[in-house]
Structure 1
Amino acid sequence: GVVPKRRSSSRSIKRKKFDDELVESSLAKSSSRAKGPPVIEPIRCSGSEPSFNEKKKVSKSSTTLILPLTMMISPPSIAKRVKKSKQPLQITKDLGRWKPSDDLLLINAVLQMTDLTSVHLGVKFSCRFTLREIQERWYALLYDPVISKLAWQAMRQLHPEAIAAIQSKALFSQAEEVLLAKILSSSQPKLEVFQELLSKHPSVFYPSRTPKSLLVHWQLLKQYYLLEDQSAPPVSVILISVSVSLPRESRDEVLEHELMISDREQYRMNSPDFDNQTLAALRGRMVRYLMRSREITLGRATKDKQIDVDLSLEGPAWKISRKQGIVKLKNNGDFFIANEGRRPIYIDGRPVLSGYKWKLNNNSVVEIAGLRFVFLINQELISLIKAEAAKMNQQ
């Protein structure tokens, strides 16, 4: 017999749609309707009203069209809320990096120098801020009412001793250095001279200046040949002119190597004429110390304690310990320096920490708290000492 055909309905099974499906379907319908050509349905009954099913379809389509509009309008409002919430986060981030002490340092330095580039180069903050960060912070303190109010409140809570320590680190202005440069380099000024200078020019000097701070800064000016009666050494002028005249774009390695060798031969420090009793010498910019015993002490001399090599004669030595180190000559003719101070000693750029020692060669550069010296060895006398030591070992 004939197998009866299976009856199947073309209608889709109705089930409850979720919200995301409802939005996606409505978007698909609206996009398809917008992209495609307008569809004209055939009118079955011209004079009759639409049936109940047609009304139901229209009502469903109208409800589905309303939902995507509300969903599309809501995301921009969320984005606006996120943008608004980012502003206080930026303020708190800046406040976390910039401490009240940094703000006070910045304000004092700008009032002294009136130049943010000089402030960036000369002031040591708690963090390594870039020039742009310093500019943004200064403008925020001037023009942002929220940041400036919070910064002033934090600065008012600083301890008076902390404020005094910050004010003592204020940079020297150009007018202050002009007055200090008038003191002759050949003189040995005492604290009374700087006290008189402070009393004569109270409007020029910063209120926290003391005679001792002026003396230390005057010694720095003297060390770098910045006083009025001083002239820069010709060697440094020639070296600067050579380095400036060389173009940076066209580098010639062979030429640079030849120039380096010629500079070393022309400008190297000639060994002084040693006598028979001088083993070595420690030469600085201002003073030359002679080593005439096998062991000498380096440091800063005081009223209570005398030392062989007083480094304060060379320049500012307030960072140098009273007994900074010991230079010793061994029986084999080698010189060693032992660090016994708090700060490191740099030998040819290598740090020697406290409790350690390092070998000193001829023309070694010794740097202690910013003061640089060249260690020169009496080669003739040391060769005799080595020969005698070799004879003693053979016996």
Structure 2
Amino acid sequence: MAHWQLLKQYQLLPDQTVQPLPKNQNDNVVTFSDAEETINDSELQDYKEDGIDVEMQLADRIEKKDIRLLENSLSRWQVLVQSVAGGNVELDKNTLAVLRGRLVRYLMRSREIAVGRSTRDHTIDVDLTLEGPAAKVSRKQATIRLRNSGDFFMSSEGKRPIFVDGRPVLQGNKVKLNHNSVIEIAGLRFVFLVNQDLISAIRQEAVKVNIPV
């Protein structure tokens, strides 16, 4: 009798049918199929192919490197490099000065240029490796600037001193460059030639508009 009552209590008798669960109109009863679909969707969203993160990081690094090299290459337009074939140097209206070496000459076409040694990941306006062995030259050895007064100054920024007309210029110091000044950097010698006609015109223009020097 007790066994029969238990079967009846749990609606397990042959003449009994399982009644549906009471369902509130505001309740959303989730079936097993719905739950299974939800689990599968979440697994697909979290799934990541092996190695895809590494590939994305590598592609990102390559893209950033290409952008950096492109930005650095823009500075090359400030200096035009020519081979030295002998004879006098002809200065056009776009060239402020020339840094003339034994093999090449660098035409200065902006008011400020950087001098040093280019590497695989670093470019510079005046790359001294084109003139000769430059292993002892810093990546940024010096900066040449043209002031509104028409005077050129070179600041020493590398570890090794620069010699201008035989006088050493230590790191953090600067010196005025004159026409035909001799510059020596780590055994490489150059002559600094000024486009005097263009510089004279720049000085006159600065006086007209009262540009501070």
- Where does residue 202 of structure 2 map in the other structure? 385
Q: Which residue of 1 aligns with 2:49?
A: none
- The 5 A counterparts of 1:210-359 are 271-359=88-176
> Structure 2 length normalisation: TM-score?
0.58
SS at match of 1:389: helix
In structure 2, what is the Cα distance between the partners aligned to 1:271 and 1:338?
Answer: 27
Alignment partner, residue 165 of structure 1 = none
Q: CA deviation at 1:273?
A: 1.2
Amino acid at match of 1:381: L
8 Å contact from structure 1 (residues 271, 376) kept in 2: no
State the alpha-carbon separation in 2 of the partners of residues 281 and 379 from structure 1.
11
If you compute each CA radius of gyration, which structure gives the higher value, 1 or 2?
1
CA spacing shift, 1:353–1:304, aligned 2, 3 Å: same
1:73-111 deviation per Cα after TM superposition (whole angstroms, max 9, x unaligned): xxxxxxxxxxxxxxxxxxxxxxxxxxxxxxxxxxxxxxx
TM-score (norm 1): 0.31
Higher strand share: 2
Measured after TM superposition, the shift of residue 324 of structure 1 is 0.2
Q: Residues 270 and 350 (structure 1 numbering): CA distance in 2 closer, same or farther, change over 3 Å?
A: farther
Deviation at 1:358, TM superposition (A): 0.3
The structure with higher relative contact order (CA 8 Å, sep 6+) is 2
Following the alignment from structure 2 to structure 1, what is the Cα–Cα distance between the partners of residues 195 and 158? 27
- Give, as a single letter, the amino acid of the residue that structure 1 aligns with 2:198: L
Displaced runs of 4 or more, over 2 A: none
Alignment root-mean-square deviation, CA:
1.7
Q: What is the distance in 2 between the residues matched to 1:342 and 1:383?
A: 34
Identify, as 1 or 2, the structure richer in helix: 1
Shift of 1:271: 5.0
Structure 2 vs 1, CA of residues 356 and 341 (structure 1 numbering), >3 Å: closer, same or farther?
Answer: same
Give the letter for the 1:388 counterpart: E
Offset at 1:392?
A: 1.6
User: What is the percent sequence identity of the aligned residues?
Assistant: 65
Aligned residue for 2:208, secondary structure, equals helix
SS at match of 2:209: helix
The aligned amino acid for 1:321 is: S
Q: 1:272 deviation in Å?
A: 1.5
Matches within 5 A, 1:1-395: 271-393=88-210
Could you tell me which runs of 5 or more consecutive residues in structure 2 were left unpaired when the two chains were aligned.
1-85
Instruction: Give the equivalent residue in structure 1 for 2:31.
Output: none
Distance 2:183 2:122 in 1: 23
Distance 1:359 1:275 in 2: 23
For each residue in 1:319-349, what CA deviation from the matched residue of structure 2 results, as whole angstroms up to 9, or x when unmatched? 1000000000000000000011000000000
Distance (whole Å) between structure 1 residues aligned to residue 156 and residue 88 of structure 2? 25
Gaps of 5+ in 1: 1-268
